[in-house]
Amino acid sequence: MKAITLATLQAMKANREKFAVLTAYDASFAQQAEKAGIEVLLVGDSLGNVILGHNSTVPVSLADMLHHTAAVSRGNSKSLLIADLPYMTYATPEQAMENATRLMQSGAQVVKLEGGAWLEDTVRKLAERGVPVCAHLGLTPQSVHKLGGYKVQGKGEEAGQKMLDDALCLAAAGADLLVLECVPTALASKISDQLSIPVIGIGAGPGTDAQVLVVYDMLGLSPRVPRFTRNFLAETGSIQGAMEAYGEAVRNGTFPAPEHCFQ
């Protein structure tokens, strides 16, 4: 695999080629994923749940993210590396600049943040200063207490229109990528079609430009496996095989299947 850049992903979207994203939290898994040809690694703040044993991502600190981003970066050379800005580290544009700087200096190539149009100014400032940004809409786990649980978002015409407006606003402000989590399939397809930037779905149906899964979910290691995931380890018998099969299933459009989607 050649080193993946944002330009690679843009070209893949233009050519209607799908790409695969997996979370990674350490150097060994990063190496395995890169060897399996996974185009993008995400050091997700889901590490709060799957590595640190918290019951949400809210307790995850910037120090946690810096530590794991540096480890993944040491194990990776070719996949594009996104890292999450954790809870309340980007509440103002100034905080976002300072904390994104630290994530980038730990090895991130793109920073991800959760939220809608309120982030317009922050995304613009980061983009103007050369920091690539991945926005995240739909189920935004850092807001779980405000959302009242881990629920599908964007149901109904008004909520769907608001998500589309937020997506267009963040893309216009300079976001390079967008994650859509737990969104009805038709809405995620519509947003992906209307945006020129690549859209990465999780529980968002097959119409997005890419898919992301939490690596522990697709290996069947998480205690509660979400409906939108698939156990690729059970199918293949090895971690390397599971990652390769996942990448292949995303690229050939066999994952996600209807049972992984919300209508």
Residues that bind ligand KIV (CB under 6 A): 23, 42, 44-46, 84, 179, 181, 202, 212, 214
Active site residue 17: no
Helix (H, G, I), strand (E, B) or coil at 236: helix
Contact 173, 120 (CB under 8 A): yes
User: At 114, phi and psi to the nearest 5?
Assistant: -105, 130
Report the nearest approach of ligand KIV to the CB of residue 46 (Å): 3
259/185 Cα distance (integer angstroms): 12
Which is closer to ligand KIV, CB of 2 or CB of 224?
Answer: 224
Contact 165, 195 (CB under 8 A): no
Report the nearest approach of ligand KIV to the CB of residue 157 (Å): 25
Write out the E strands in the chain: 19-23, 40-43, 80-84, 110-114, 133-138, 177-181, 199-202, 210-213
Which is closer to ligand KIV, CB of 14 or CB of 40?
Answer: 40
Catalytic position from the list 94, 181, 244, 248 = 181
Report the nearest approach of ligand KIV to the CB of residue 17 (Å): 21
Q: Encoding tokens for residue 6? A: 């944002």
Which is closer to ligand KIV, CB of 2 or CB of 72?
Answer: 72
Report the nearest approach of ligand KIV to the CB of residue 94 (Å): 23
| Cα separations in angstroms, 63 against 1, 48, 60, 80, 189 | 31, 12, 8, 21, 36
Which is closer to ligand KIV, CB of 93 or CB of 226?
Answer: 226
Chain position whose Cβ is nearest to ligand KIV: 44
The residues annotated as belonging to the active site are 181
